[in-house]
Amino acid sequence: MKTVSSVYPQSDRSSNAHSTFKTVGAVLAALATWIFVATVLNLPLRASWPHYHEAETAFNFTFTMKLARLALGAVSSLAAGFVAAWIEKGRMRAATLTGVVLLGLFIPNHYLLWSKFPVWYHLTFLVSLVPLTLLGAALHHRSKTHDGNVTGD
């Protein structure tokens, strides 16, 4: 009697599990990267910008300080996307999930701080999270193609 093979052979299941764990790990590493980069970039702002620390504790930033904070967030998002793509060998799944998770984490904070910042600030920050994270992942892909070390998906 002939046996029918499983629709999902064991090797496919373990491969899918490995892929899932790798994606989750990439997202967690990307989130840690976002926090690390934001912290490292924020320290010089506190140390070198007069009254920045006071403005930070009171959420009373000048226009230039707000722009600096948006730039800090942008660089952090780019770095997070780059790391997600690096870990996942250029695939965009982890970078996309990272952007969505960042958005999910920051929406409640911005809702609570809505009255402390102008609408343009909230929208610029929140709307840019996913695209900048994906751009960071695309920069990783671009750096790999320039090196001649493109990895297949």
This prediction's pTM: 0.83
**Range in 17-21, 65-69, 119-123, 135-139 with the lowest mean pLDDT:** 17-21
Share above pLDDT 70 across residues of the chain, in percent, rounded to a whole number: 84
> Residue 153's pLDDT is what?
45
- For 16-75, write each residue's pLDDT tens digit: 787 889 999 999 999 999 999 999 999 999 999 999 999 999 999 999 999 999 999 999
CA distances from residue 28 to 36, 49, 89, 124, 145 in whole angstroms, order as listed: 12, 32, 15, 24, 25
How far apart are alpha carbons 121 and 35 in whole angstroms? 19
Confidence of residue 135 (pLDDT cuts 50, 70, 90): very high
Q: Is residue 8 part of a domain?
A: no
How far apart are alpha carbons 119 and 127 in whole angstroms? 12
> Residue 152's pLDDT is what?
46
Q: Per the structure, how many domains does the chain have?
A: 1
Tell me the residue range of the domain where 114 lies. Answer: 14-147
- For 29-43, write each residue's pLDDT tens digit: 999 999 999 999 999
Q: Is residue 91 part of a domain?
A: yes
> Residue 145's pLDDT is what?
66
Question: Residue 44 class from Cβ within 10 Å (0-12 exposed, 13-18 middle, 19+ buried)?
Answer: exposed
Q: What is the pLDDT averaged over residues 81-86?
A: 96
Q: Is residue 111 part of a domain?
A: yes
Q: Is residue 20 part of a domain?
A: yes
For residues 50, 56, 58, 62, the Cα torsion angle rounded to the nearest 10 degrees is 60
- Is residue 140 within 8 Å of residue 153, measured between CB atoms? no
What does the chain come to in residues? 153
> Residue 149's pLDDT is what?
54
Q: Is residue 2 part of a domain?
A: no
The H or E element that residue 127 is part of is helix 119-147
> Residue 41's pLDDT is what?
97
Q: Is residue 7 part of a domain?
A: no
Q: Is residue 40 part of a domain?
A: yes
> Residue 78's pLDDT is what?
98
Residue bearing the bigger pLDDT, 122 or 14: 122
Q: Is residue 48 part of a domain?
A: yes
